[in-house]
Every structure is written in C-alpha cells, then in structure tokens.
Amino acid sequence: MKNILITGGAGFIGSHVVRQFVNNYPEYHIFNLDALTYAGNLENLKDIENKENYTFIKGDITNELFINDIFSKYKFESVIHLAAESHVDRSISDPLAFAKTNILGTMILLNAFKNEVDYTKNNSLFYHISTDEVYGTLGETGLFTETTPYDPNSPYSASKASSDHFVRAYGETYNIPYVITNCSNNYGEFQFPEKLIPLCINNIINNKPLPIYGDGKYTRDWLYVVDHAKAIDLVFHKGKNGDTYNIGGFNEYQNIDLVKELCKQMDQKLGREENTSEQLITFVKDRPGHDLRYAIDATKINKNLGWKPSVTFEEGLSKTIDWYLNNTEWLENITKGTYQKYYDQQYSK
C-alpha cells in the first residue's frame, strides 16, 4: 500500500479530494491531516470515515516537530497539500494567520518531505493546490494562463503566491518532484458559508439580506468542486513533474448575475413566489483591494490531460442548492456559535 498524505482534508475541497481518493484507490492508504480550524469539519467525511484505507490525523502543519514525526512514522510516498487559510476577507482582518499557515506551514511540509521521503527512488510527488488569485486581477478582457506573471493583491493571494514560489524553489534546489495547480472559484457541497454562494444560500433560507460588495460587477470563474477533485486526481497521476496547470470552469459570472440566478433557483425550490429572494439583495461596503475579474484559460490541462468540467454551472448550482436544503442540520451546526460573531464583525462595517 502506498501511504499518501492529504492536508486540509476536513475542509471544503479537501473533503471531496479525500473522498475521491479513498473510494477510487483501495491500493492507497489516505492519511487526512487537518487542524480542524473553524473551516474543518469531520461531518464532511461521514460516508468514508470507517473505510480501511483511511486514517484521520488531527494536527497543525505549522507544528514542525509534529509534522516531522508523522512523516517519519508513516513513510508517506506523496503529499497532496490543501490545508490553508482560504478566505480573502479573513486575510484582510488577520494577515499574519495567513502567512503562518499558508507560507510557513507549506515550508514545514516541504522540509519534512525533503528530509523524510525517499523521492529519488519512489514514484513520489509533492502536489500543491493553489489558486488563480496569485495572478492578481484581469481587466474586462483576457484570461490567466500558466505563464501569466504573479501579481497578488490580497494578503491571502500573496501568501498563496509565496507558498507556490517555495514549492518551485524546493523543486529546483532539492529536485523534489512537484506539481502545482491554480484553480478558479469552487462551489458545491460542504462549502463553509463565509464564501459567496453558501452564504447567500443560508441567508435566502433564513430570509436575511444578501450582501453584495461594491456594485456587484466583480467577475469570477466558477467550477463545481467535484470537477476540481477529478482534475486533482488526474494531475496527481498524469501531471508532469515540475509543471503547473490552470484549472477553471470556462464559466464567468458577475456576482450580481450569479446571485440573481441563485435567487431564481431557490425561489422555485422553496416554492416561493418569483422574485421573492431577489428583494433580499443589499449592496454593502466593498472589499478593500477587491480584484475585478478572474478567468482561467484551462487549455493546457484540457489538451495535455484531457480534463474538462462535467457539469454546467446551472446544473452544479442546482445540485448544490439541493444539498444545502437537504442538509440543514449540517448548516445549522456550523452557523451557530462563532460563525455569528464573525458574521456580525464582517457585515456590520
């Protein structure tokens, strides 16, 4: 059996990646390392938690002794690294937390990999999951390609850019086999309701205002999370050592149009009169340093590895809404307690 370490596997994307690997590769033993911050939730993995090829380890990637210890103990062959602080708004209020986890945490993992993994003999890989936000912002036109220069604007994207550089540097300096993927905005089941789509789903259910930053004309490229997990599987097995791949949904939406589509679908599903939820839209103070537009050119992963998204945005959004409506207990459990405090601080400005 190959021991594979997935970090951040109790989070949104990580839980889908863990599920994808545990279910499809019985020949791998998947170790899910997660600190269970506010964003980590073992409820996301109920369906696979008792599988024989799965082990959960609670721990912090910034704890060097602990990380060295588990690398030495479990002899991981490869790492898929997703653990991070991931929300831009939180990076604006607490940038140091982002530097610590996203930069230092990644370096500690890289060092452990360098010192403990026999990567010259094995078919090993350090797979770093990154974001399109490292490229900064686009104007009205153009797309991010793998050669677009890094130009991050938020503490979050700067910390992710920095971690990407360290991964590449360890590859160049120590010949660590690595791959990096830079993905656009994910949506889907198990996303924490601080991000635009689940936040609005939760607020529509509860008839609360839908906060739209600025004029709502900011544009993102949305990808269904299961399609991201499938792309990660493909890159892990077929990606070229030292390469980077952009992953995107070929699916740009202005925030205001996306929220209107969400309102339309939710009114239908909740049996509410047409245009009921749209009345909840409220324009609020803009995010500082707000990137105008992200859009990914995913031609490379499509041409080289044959990946493309499997669902349209309308289908993916419909599946996502259905999941949240059928899992209100999951939503209620994570929106009580500290969530309300975060929400009040973020939206009362």
Q: Which of 34, 60, 89, 132 is catalytic?
A: 132
Tell whether residue 14 is a contact of ligand NAD (CB under 6 A).
Answer: yes
Amino acid at 135: Y
- Residue with Cβ nearer ligand NAD (32 or 124): 32
Q: Give the x-and-dash track for 111-150 against ligand NAD (CB under 6 A).
A: ------------------x-x-------------------
Look at residue 88 and give the partner it binds from ligand NAD, ligand DAU, none, a contact being a CB closer than 5 to 8 Å depending on partner kind: ligand DAU
CB atoms < 10 A from the CB of 249, how many? 27
Is 156 marked active-site? Answer: yes
Give the closest residue to 144 by CA, choosing from 127, 131, 162, 158: 131
Which stretch, 168-176, 178-186, 198-206, 286-294, contacts ligand NAD (CB under 6 A)? 178-186
- Residue 61 near ligand NAD by CB under 6 A: yes
Of the candidates 133, 164, 189, 252, the residue annotated as catalytic is 133
- Per the listing, tokens 């024989």 go with 52
- Nearer Cβ to ligand DAU (78/185): 185
d(CA 217, CA 212): 9
Planar angle of CA 70, 13, 232, nearest 5 degrees: 80
The number of beta carbons lying within 10 Å of the beta carbon of residue 73 is 11
**Counting contacts by CB under 6 A, is residue 248 touching ligand NAD?**
no
Interface ranges with ligand DAU (CB under 6 A): 86-88, 131-133, 184-185, 195-196, 199, 211-213, 218, 220, 255, 287, 294
Q: Exactly one of 6, 10, 210, 259 binds ligand NAD (CB under 6 A); which one? A: 10
CB atoms < 10 A from the CB of 329, how many?
9
Task: Give the C-alpha distances (Å, rounded to integers) separating 38 from 54, 65, 89, 246, 310.
Answer: 22, 23, 15, 28, 30
Tokens of 303: 């041409």
Examine residue 201 and tell whether it contacts ligand NAD (CB under 6 A): no
Q: Using the minimum distance from each CB to ligand DAU, give the nearer residue, 177 or 316.
A: 316
If binding is defined by CB under 6 A, does position 13 make contact with ligand NAD?
Answer: yes
Cβ distance 92 to 134 under 8 Å?
Answer: no
3-state helix, strand, coil in the chain (%, to 5): 45, 20, 35
Could you say whether residue 4 binds ligand NAD (CB under 6 A)?
no
Pick from 226, 255, 246, 227: which is nearest to 299 by CA?
246
**Which residue in 4, 5, 6, 12 binds ligand NAD (CB under 6 A)?**
12
Q: Footprint of ligand NAD on this chain (CB under 6 A)?
A: 7-8, 10-14, 34-37, 39-40, 60-62, 82-86, 101, 105, 129, 131, 160, 183, 185-186, 192
Which sequence positions are flagged as catalytic? 132-133, 156
